[in-house]
Amino acid sequence: MPDLLLEIGTEELPACAAPAALAQLAERLPALLGELRLEHGAATPFGTPRRLALRVAGVAGSQPDLEEWVRGPSRAAGFDGDGEPTRAALGFSRGHGVEVSALVEREGYLYALKRTPGRAAADVLAVELPKLIAAIDFPRSMRWGSGDLRFARPIRWIVALLGSATIPFVLGDVTSGRATYGHRTLAPGAVEVASPSVYEAVMHEAGVMADPAARAEHIRTAVQAVASPATARIDEGLLAEVNWLVEHPTPFRGEFPKEALAVPEAVLVEVMRVQQRYFPVQDPKGLLLPQFCGVRDGDAEHLDTVIAGNERVLRARFADARFFYDEDRKRTLASRVPELGRVTFAEGLGDVGAKVARLARLVSGPTAQRAAHLCKADRLTHLVDEFPELEGTMGAHYAQLDGEPADVCQAIAEHVLPRAAGGDLPQSQAGRDLAIGDRLDNLAGHFLLGRAPTGSADPFGLRRQAIAVLRILRERIEPDLGQAMSAAIDGYTGVGDPAAASLEVRRFLRERLRGLMIEAGHRYDLVDAILATDEWRVGELWARLATLEAILADPALAPDFLTVYRRCANLATKADRDAKFRVEAATAPEEAALGQALLAAPRREGLDHVRAVASLRPAVDALLDRVLIMAPEPEVRANRLALLRDVAAFAARFADLGRIAG
């Protein structure tokens, strides 16, 4: 069976959007083949800044014939009393191209076996591939030219091949074919792809490394080679970005004046990473060297000129950074705090000075209090204004130079952690408290103004901030997140509806925690059982989830524990909420025995609690098997139902066990 190749050639795609677009293509094209009943083999993605491509091995040349039973009218509606077909049966058979005599009766209805001949794969794909391309999503799509097609960048060519034959279609102003384009400078002009199997070789000949995974690994290896005997610091995020900026990567090493090292290392690294997309170079001890590694999109011709130009640009960048740093050092960090009142925090939520005051009320202890007072002051420095990613880092550095205690400086540096999903978490208690308080204040303010995320829209990054709080709290029993959230909402006065905002943000946090637990591989019903309680200590919720999983994994414990709950819970709903069980009012020995066992059961946590519940199984079985719970006497019935309610509540103290499936 022939291979299929689809290549979408474009102007340079944004590096941040191209990998996701290629992932969509790699997922949707095989799925489309399945929907079209076209057998196929493995799919191999290719992509560069100027192309998204997928090669699918062994695609069937045509669809198999389709046979399906279609249900029509009932037997009574299809035939009259004399057994003659009615208009309903005639119309149904005619519509599906079968004779009336071929209709089959099943369960009172008429069925027709409909046969649909399979079509050639090329004919089907010529219709469906343009729809597939047009459906690729980008964070920002635009119309290019006079048509209605929206794409991240203009589409310049399309290669669509099934074996050696083209799949002809038109998308916008572009007609598909077999002509592709190589590297802009190394191989300008069109080149033809004879068949999908030679695509990668054709691209290589045209100066393009089409496999993004192989290209990234080549960049990693080659950068380290040019940095040797020193070592390049490979930031994975930067590597991913550089990988989608080049088609023919050629790494090089440059140098900058040693005097630049007088500027804090974090600043130099940020300049190289953000402004120039360079990889810093370090010695065996991890100290930054006056060198850098860059990646050119082209070959090694005139590379010395390229290096000289990059060195010249970097010297200018570092000179700017040194000027900003020297200007910032003319004032202490604390002297900038009063000016925060002139910096807007968010529309409708006042200024940063007010935010700092609220933050100070959310944390306790002298270290956290001092850090809260200073942590936003670096926003007024030149370097953080130029590089917002350095917030916290520069604040800690300037605070250290001003003579602030080391623990205060650490908390300032950590209050912005984690900076990204999966990033490092704050390690000090003051840093954790400050990071949590800062984000809870943000959540409170925006939810009070009705700015909760909707759909995929989250302009204030509230989902990310909520997840950061939950990650920080995962391994900690304290604090109670619900109480902390209420305190954050109380910090605002005269803004929105506090009661409504509190309910909404709590639900929002629960949803994020549920998502984290399910993403971690935990069963959805167990997660729902844990989160159905009133518990708001995040670390405790994770511990309870682990306990619940341990229960179900123990065949000697799970049956007794769950049976105690379920047998009691089935009748507990009939108990009067205000009724109280009294041992002295028990009229059956089994009733008294279970009541005494419940009162004597130890109130512990985790598996010790589970074992205490499981130990009640014999007494529960004896009561329910031998005693009439719904006794005719109201007082007797009420006492027994109250006992079952108390046992069920004791069992479900840490989770809503009724939500467990199966």
Question: DSSP state, 623?
Answer: H
Q: What is the pLDDT of residue 520?
A: 93
**Distance (Å, rounded) from C-alpha 191 to C-alpha 206?**
8
The Cα-based distances of 129 to 122, 244, 596 in angstroms read 10, 24, 72
Average of pLDDT values for 413-438? 93
Question: Once rounded to an integer, what is the mean pLDDT over residues 265-289?
Answer: 95
Count of domains for the chain: 5
pLDDT bin (cut points 50, 70, 90) of residue 609 is confident
Q: Does residue 593 sit in the same domain as residue 648?
A: yes
Please give the average per-residue pLDDT across 328-339, as a whole number: 95
Task: Return the pLDDT at 271.
Answer: 95
User: Residue 653: what pLDDT?
Assistant: 83
| Residue 73 to residue 86: CA distance in whole angstroms | 10
Residue-level pLDDT at 375: 96
Determine, yes or no, domain membership for 542.
no
For residues 617 and 517, membership in a common domain is answered with no
Give the pLDDT score at 434. Answer: 96
Confidence of residue 269 (pLDDT cuts 50, 70, 90): very high
Q: Could you say which of 150, 177, 205 is where a domain stops?
A: 205
Assigned domain for 541 exists = no
The predicted structure's pLDDT at residue 463 = 94
pLDDT tens for residues 206-226?
999 999 999 999 999 999 999
Measured distance between the N- and C-terminal CA atoms of the chain, rounded to whole angstroms:
46
- Token pair of 145 as six digits: 């030219």
Helix (H, G, I), strand (E, B) or coil at 605: coil
**300 and 176 in a common domain:** no
| pLDDT band per the 50, 70, 90 thresholds, residue 122 | very high
29, 59 Cβ separation under 8 angstroms: no
pLDDT above 90: percentage of residues in the chain: 77
Q: Is the pLDDT of residue 296 over 80?
A: yes
pLDDT score for 606 = 79
Q: Is the pLDDT of residue 52 over 90?
A: yes
Examine the domain organization and report whether 275 and 402 are in the same domain: no
231-254 pLDDT, tens digit per residue, is 999 999 999 999 999 999 999 999
Structural domain span for residue 448:
337-521
So what's the pLDDT on residue 478?
82
- Domain end position, chosen among 306, 328, 350: 328
Candidates 273, 260, 244, 256; CA nearest to 389 is: 273
Give domain status of residue 308, yes or no. yes
Task: Please tell me whether residues 242 and 323 are part of one structural domain.
Answer: yes
Peptide bond into 479 cis (omega under 30): yes
pLDDT of residue 102: 87
CA distance 448 to 501: 5
- 270 and 168, same structural domain? no
pLDDT tens digit string along 53-104? 999 999 999 988 888 888 999 988 888 888 889 989 899 988 888 888 888 8
pLDDT score for 82: 83
Both 468 and 419 in a single domain? Answer: yes
Dist CA 61 CA 402 (whole Å): 74
| In a domain? residue 543 | no
Which pLDDT belongs to residue 184? 94
Residue 107, CA atoms < 13 Å, CB-side half-sphere: 2
For 530, residues 6+ apart whose C-beta sits below 8 A from its C-beta are 517, 541, 544, 545, 548, 654, 655
Q: Report the DSSP beta bridge partners of residue 175.
A: 170
Same domain membership, residue 103 and residue 49: no
- Give helix then strand counts, H and E, for the chain: 25, 18
Q: Is the residue at 568 inside a domain?
A: yes
* Residue 469 confidence (pLDDT): 96
Give the pLDDT mean for 148-168.
94
Structural domain includes residue 229:
yes
| pLDDT higher than threshold 90 for residue 205 | yes
Q: Is the pLDDT of residue 361 over 90?
A: yes
**CA angle (399 as vertex; 394, 402 as ends), nearest 5:** 130
536, part of any domain: no
**Residue 535 domain-assigned?**
no
Kindly tell me if the per-residue pLDDT of 145 is higher than 80.
Answer: no
Instruction: Indicate if 130 and 27 belong to the same structural domain.
Output: yes
Determine the pLDDT at residue 272.
96
Q: Which of 99-108, 397-406, 581-590 is predicted least confidently? A: 99-108
Confidence at residue 222, expressed as pLDDT on a 0 to 100 scale: 97
How far is residue 591's CA from residue 574's CA, in Å, rounded to a whole number?
17
Q: Are residues 297 and 343 in the same domain?
A: no
Kindly tell me if the per-residue pLDDT of 576 is higher than 80: yes
> Which has the minimum average pLDDT: 38-42, 75-79, 258-262, 375-379?
75-79
Please report how the helices 481-490 and 498-519 are oriented relative to each other, as an axis angle in degrees rounded to 10: 140
DSSP string, 555-575: TTTHHHHHHHHHHHHHHHTTS
Same domain (yes/no): 357, 470: yes
User: Is residue 394 domain-shared with residue 271, that is, in the same domain?
Assistant: no
pLDDT digits (tens, 9 = 90+) for 493-535: 888 899 999 999 999 999 999 999 999 999 999 999 999 988 9
Tell me how far apart the alpha carbons of residues 210 and 208 are, in angstroms, rounded to a whole number: 6
Contact 407, 367 (CB under 8 A): yes
Last residue of a domain, which of 205, 220, 254? 205
- Residue 203: pLDDT band by 50, 70, 90 thresholds? very high
Give the predicted TM-score (pTM) of the model. Answer: 0.78
- To 5 degrees, how large is the angle CA 110–CA 113–CA 115? 150
Average of pLDDT values for 609-621? 91
CATH number where 637 lies? 1.10.730
Tokens of 413: 């540096």
AA identity, residue 581 = F
